[in-house]
Amino acid sequence: MATQRIAELLRSGQPDETVTVQGWVRTKRELKDFAFVEVNDGSSMANLQVVLSPDIPDYANLVKQLNTGTSLEVSGTLVASPAKGQRIELKASTLKVYGEANPETYPLQKKRHSFEFLREIGHLRARTNTLGAVFRVRNACATAIHEFFQERGFLWVHTPIITSSDCEGAGEMFAVTSLDLKNVPVTESKDIDYSKDFFGKPAYLTVSGQLEAEVMAMAFSNVYTFGPTFRAENSNTSRHLAEFWMVEPEMAFCDLQGDMDLAEAFLKHIFKYVLEKCSEDMEFFNQRIDNTVLATADNIINNQFERLPYTEAIKLLEKADKQFEYPVSWGLDLQSEHERYLAEDLFKKPVIVTDYPVGIKAFYMRLNDDDKTVAAMDILAPKIGEIIGGSQREERLEVLERRLKAQGLDVENYWWYLDLRRFGTVPHAGFGLGFERLVQFMTGMQNIRDVIPFPRAPLTIEF
């Protein structure tokens, strides 16, 4: 008999159905004449209660093995449950144990464990209620992202993980090399001789797929990337990862207005999808992690986002009846406390800030007519601050060359990027969303390391 998923049985299983389930024991309760076992297979927050009676072959021996963490297969008949809070339970007829978990050494028991402790046992933490809920929501977010773009005719582009260019110009990149680090070849001038390296030139793990997405947008009009990116920023905080996933759409024949419209619709779609597909998990987060999770989702879905220029935002911050830790002044970047004040306190909904000073934004953002600002936009959300950053891209060749030089970047390294402006250039725009930041925002989890299965951070690489 084919096995069934517990989530489906709890949703639509009927009494007298004969079923087989496989999973792991969460809890066991032994009574005089029978035993109750809660089984979970990861498909839902809820467990399926299995009732074991002595007429099962090898009953006494099997029940001894059924400790928390034990894997099993059980077949039997669904029956209406007399217990409160559950519609059905499984009356077992046969049971098979695949692997025992010794209660003396199995680190996950029926009690609350701190997230710090769970990070130390990353190979087991996905079996807990909270992390299970996180990864189901993460999966739903990813599905919603693909659905959103595919329904609109976007092409999913797999951009390279190994690159020779620094998209952001920040220099915080992991080097990729095949050189013998104990005997690095050098030139006559004592520089590293990259001609002996695998690619014949310096190579890095990518910080963004945006530039390559622009290449593809110049052929397919609307594209998006969704893949891993890397930052060698030595930030050991609850907000930073060295390896994380990015979503980056790029649209030809699109300006900043179209970019903002798409980004707003994008966020609304993801939240709606997750609330529909993971309602039980989201309710859990609202009860156990952050009691504003559902209200925050509602705020995203049912509000038109506020839009205002950076210059106006600075004026509002300067008038704010609040003491900020970081200074507020035209020309300085907004800090998280400023972003959250605008979204949480002032407008009480998501805010899109546009037209930032040229000096604090990347070289590829389109210079506005005032020569002081660029056609950039950041979406600021209550409780987290910036959730999306985007811009109209600079499509004018001479302006782009000037911007590259102003930021001290070698124009020759970007010859191919400049060629896009030489051969059939068009206005185009795009944005980037840090996927883990989105999942963290959606679930209310405090540490970004708890929304990715295997976090990579300074001095953190267990697997």
Confidence (pLDDT) at 460: 84
Q: How does pLDDT run across 76-89, given as a tens digit for each residue? A: 999 999 888 889 99
Per residue, the 3-state secondary structure of 191-230, as one string, reads CECHHHCCCCCCEEECCCCHHHHHHHHHHHCEEEEEEEEE
Per-residue pLDDT averaged across 251-272, rounded?
Answer: 98
Choose among 343, 369, 344, 341: nearest CA to 355. 369
Choose among 75, 66, 82: nearest CA to 28. 66
Q: How does pLDDT run across 88-109, given as a tens digit for each residue? A: 999 999 999 999 999 999 999 8
Q: What is the pTM of this model?
A: 0.94
Which one has a higher pLDDT value, 462 or 28?
Answer: 28
d(CA 453, CA 375): 36
The β-bridge relationship of strands 351-357 and 306-309 is parallel
Q: How does pLDDT run across 144-163, given as a tens digit for each residue? A: 999 999 999 999 999 999 99
Q: How does pLDDT run across 363-401, given as a tens digit for each residue? A: 999 999 999 999 999 999 988 889 999 999 999 999 999
The angle, 0 to 180 degrees and rounded to 10, between the axes of the packed helices 415-422 and 397-406 is 160
Which pair of tokens denotes residue 382? 């209550």
- Count Cβ atoms within 10 A of the Cβ of residue 20 and give its class: 0-12 exposed, 13-18 middle, 19 or more buried: middle
Cβ distance 119 to 455 under 8 Å?
Answer: yes
Neighbours of 17 (CB within 10 A): 15
CA angle 328, 329, 335 (to 5 degrees): 45
Choose among 153, 283, 238, 215: nearest CA to 421. 215
Cβ distance 94 to 50 under 8 Å?
Answer: no
The β-bridge relationship of strands 385-392 and 373-381 is antiparallel
Q: How does pLDDT run across 171-200, given as a tens digit for each residue? A: 589 999 999 999 999 999 999 999 999 999
Q: Which of 1-5, 66-70, 398-402, 439-443 has the lowest mean pLDDT?
A: 1-5
Confidence (pLDDT) at 240: 84
